[in-house]
Each structure stands twice: as structure tokens, then as C-alpha cells.
């Protein structure tokens, strides 16, 4: 199996296969030093780009270094990741043709202020690389922030309804 890194329409560089990959193939391991989540937060606090992959319960992350870190996100991917005996593997979830870019769904979480906008171009693109759960969590947090802002306004007009809902 040949994997090459070259520029991608999705984002910067991507990972492409030069040969056909069958569905179910264990393609490449997500390699890199393992560090604690706290270490990673500190190391990349000011970095716009990170290649971190949470393993196990997420308290340890792989600081990506190697081929797999170049694989881009897609909302309609041809691969998925699987943890096998503590190693993270990129697996083909369908047959992949030679020349195709490998992608998997990042299901991002814990992204602070980062938008993590998705431009994968898939018909089902959710416009974000966050997991659907994380998107909902962030939307709730954003609504809360809006309410807090309204509360702080000294002469804010009180509407008769709406913002008093408890849920
Ligand atoms: Zn997308």
C-alpha cells in the first residue's frame, strides 16, 4: 500500500493512496509521542493547528507525528479510527480507489474558541469538525453567554417571555 502526502482541496496537505484499499483494511497507525491532556493544552495554547488524538478516556493524547496526522476530516469519510490494544488505527470503511484522499470524521471535542469550520464539500457536511454532541454542547454554552450579556445590560429591555425558560 502506498500513501503519499500532497496538497488537498479540503485543507492544506492531505494523505492519498496510490493503490486500491479494500474495505476493512487497517491502513496506518496514528503515531506520535503520548502526552497528558494538560501537557498538550500547555504546549499548544497559542497554536492554531494541532494534531492531537485523544486515547482511552481522553486524559492521554497522541501528539501526531507521521503519515496519519495528515489525514483530513470529512463529514462523508472513507475511513474511521479504531483503538486496538491502545493503538489508534485508521481503517477503511469502504473500498478506496487509487488516487483518492483518505479522510475520517474527526468528531472534535474540547476546542475552546476555535470554530473548526468544515469545508469538506460533502452533501451531508455539518459545517463543523466538532462531533454532533459537541456542537450541541457549544450551542448551549453560547446561549448561556448571550443571556449573561443581556443580564449585564443596565438598561436592557425586558421582554415578557422567552428568556425565562429553564430548559
Ligand atoms: Zn464537512
How remote is the CA of residue 120 from the centroid of ligand 1, in Å?
4
Residue 104 in any domain: the answer is yes
Residue 107 in any domain: the answer is yes
Q: CATH no. for residue 86?
A: 2.170.270.10
How remote is the CA of residue 92 from the centroid of ligand 1, in Å?
18
Q: Are 13 and 5 in contact (CB under 8 A)?
A: yes
Residue 11 has pLDDT above 60, yes or no: yes
Residue 117 in any domain: the answer is yes
Residue 138 in any domain: the answer is no
How remote is the CA of residue 122 from the centroid of ligand 1, in Å?
6
Query: Confidence class of residue 153 from pLDDT cuts 50, 70 and 90?
Result: low
Task: Name residues whose C-beta falls within 8 Å of residue 62's C-beta, 6 or more positions apart in sequence.
Answer: 30, 31, 32, 33, 34, 52, 53, 55, 88
**How many Cα atoms occupy the beta-carbon half-sphere of 104 within 13 Å?**
21
Note the pLDDT tens digit of each residue in 40-63: 999 998 887 789 999 988 899 999
Query: Confidence class of residue 160 from pLDDT cuts 50, 70 and 90?
Result: very low
Residue where the block lists cell 478506496: 96
Residue 39 in any domain: the answer is no
How remote is the CA of residue 105 from the centroid of ligand 1, in Å?
9
Residue 161 has pLDDT above 60, yes or no: no
- C-alpha angle with apex 22: 17 to 28, nearest 5 degrees? 55
Q: Which three cell numbers stand for residue 51?
A: 494534531
How remote is the CA of residue 112 from the centroid of ligand 1, in Å?
19
Domain count, the chain: 1
Residue 58 in any domain: the answer is no
How remote is the CA of residue 73 from the centroid of ligand 1, in Å?
7
State the Cα–Cα distance between residues 114 and 125, nearest whole angstrom.
Answer: 18
Q: Which of 31, 39, 37 is nearest to 87 (CA)?
A: 31
How remote is the CA of residue 75 from the centroid of ligand 1, in Å?
4
How remote is the CA of residue 149 from the centroid of ligand 1, in Å?
31
- Structural domain of 73: 3-31+66-132
Helix (H, G, I), strand (E, B), or coil: what is residue 129? coil
Residue 46 in any domain: the answer is no
How remote is the CA of residue 80 from the centroid of ligand 1, in Å?
15
Q: Which three cell numbers stand for residue 39?
A: 501537557
State the Cα–Cα distance between residues 145 and 135, nearest whole angstrom.
Answer: 15
Residue 49 in any domain: the answer is no
Note the pLDDT tens digit of each residue in 105-138: 999 987 777 788 998 999 999 999 999 999 999 9
How remote is the CA of residue 167 from the centroid of ligand 1, in Å?
29
Amino acid at each position: 500500500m502506498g500513501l503519499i502526502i500532497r496538497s488537498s482541496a479540503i485543507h492544506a496537505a492531505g494523505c492519498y493512496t496510490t493503490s486500491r484499499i479494500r474495505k476493512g483494511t487497517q491502513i496506518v497507525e496514528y503515531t506520535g509521542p503520548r502526552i497528558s491532556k494538560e501537557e498538550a493544552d500547555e504546549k499548544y495554547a497559542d497554536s492554531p493547528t494541532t494534531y492531537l488524538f485523544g486515547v482511552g478516556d481522553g486524559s492521554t493524547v497522541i501528539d501526531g507525528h507521521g503519515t496519519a496526522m495528515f489525514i483530513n476530516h470529512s463529514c462523508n469519510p472513507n475511513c474511521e479510527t479504531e483503538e486496538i490494544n491502545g493503538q489508534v488505527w485508521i481503517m477503511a470503511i469502504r473500498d478506496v480507489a487509487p488516487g483518492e484522499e483518505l479522510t475520517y470524521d474527526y468528531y472534535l471535542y474540547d476546542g475552546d474558541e476555535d470554530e473548526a469550520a468544515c469545508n469538506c464539500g460533502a452533501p451531508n457536511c455539518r459545517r463543523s469538525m466538532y462531533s454532533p454532541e459537541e456542537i450541541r454542547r457549544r450551542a448551549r454554552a453560547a446561549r448561556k453567554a448571550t443571556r449573561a450579556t443581556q443580564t449585564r445590560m443596565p438598561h436592557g429591555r425586558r421582554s415578557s417571555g422567552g428568556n425565562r425558560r429553564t430548559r
